[in-house]
Structure 1
């Protein structure tokens, strides 16, 4: 897996040499020279080549955006197929996380590759309906890590129903 080059390591008001950029981002100097050849602008043609920090930040953000996919709520990004696809309904799991988030995992319908996505816990039922899953969400599709739902105990019966 490749390392993401974070533009947060670069200061906008500073000029960098090729070696400075490679040390700041943790990449090889030849990688930076390849970026220059592909389209990263330089300050002038004199040696050493100077790269403006603001230009470098913009270049890294554009480079990262080119890799991202636009997904709908019920779709996930498959990096093997290189597109947004609907996961296989039988393989979808929602894992509750902190701060109202859910970790959605599933398998790609086309290639069988594993996919991950973080969604809001409030949208889990809407996503499940879009995937044409059977209602209510089966217990096997919902993994709660040490958290009990206050309004819906799966393994028990309400005290007033006994």
Structure 2
């Protein structure tokens, strides 16, 4: 049996990129139970309400929903339990300093398998104001329209 390589995405938090300015990203390992890993391998998870918190020099992931494993028995896990994040001490110390600044938080962006191990990408983020969200949507829409116009011009040029 060949060893699994590469990155296999399980869940993504698109709303986080809309609601926050992403300042920095970190890749973390996760401490999981066997049934959680099996549930993730089925591609089932939700990061929507998730957040990370630094507590006593350790990083914890809260409110990430990994549903119970369907073939699990009484050993099944709780769906929304807090899970420990595996980070280097220097990264944790840096994050402790940054999150104490006003308005900064840690949000999960993606949950994936990398070379067979479950990883979560967390971001140091600052909340956006309503007008920032509208501005971001407007820029995205303008970029899309300009790309369409350029591709339409190229099609006309070829014909």
TM-score interval, smaller chain: under 0.3
Between Structure 1 and Structure 2, the one with more strand by share is 2
Larger Cα-atom Rg: 1
TM normalised by structure 1 equals: 0.24
